[in-house]
Amino acid sequence: MSCRYTCDKHQAYITCLSVFLLFQRPAFILPTIPSGVCQKISVPLCIGLPYTETVLPNLLGHVHQRDVDQAIQTFASLVQVECSPHLKPFLCSVFTPECQSGRPRPPCRTLCEQARFSCCEDLMHSFGVSWPEELQCNNLMFLMTGEL
Phi/psi at 98 (nearest 5 deg)? Answer: -60, 135
Q: Please give the Cα distance from 3 to 140 (Å, whole number).
A: 12
What confidence tens digit (pLDDT) does each residue in 109-146 have? 999 999 998 877 888 888 888 888 889 999 888 764 44
Residue 53 forms part of a structural domain: yes
CATH number at residue 94: 1.10.2000.10
Q: What is the CA radius of gyration of the chain?
A: 15
What confidence tens digit (pLDDT) does each residue in 31-58 have? 344 568 999 999 999 999 999 999 999 9
Domain count, the chain: 1
Residue 2 forms part of a structural domain: no
Structural domain boundaries enclosing 76 = 8-139
pTM for this model (two decimals): 0.72
Q: Please give the Cα distance from 90 to 70 (Å, whole number).
A: 17
Residue 79 forms part of a structural domain: yes
Query: Which residues lie below 8 Å from residue 25, measured CB to CB, with a gap of 6+?
Result: none
Residue 92 forms part of a structural domain: yes
Closest CA to 91 of 104, 101, 78: 78
CA distances from 81 to 78, 84, 116, 125, 138 (A): 5, 8, 14, 15, 25
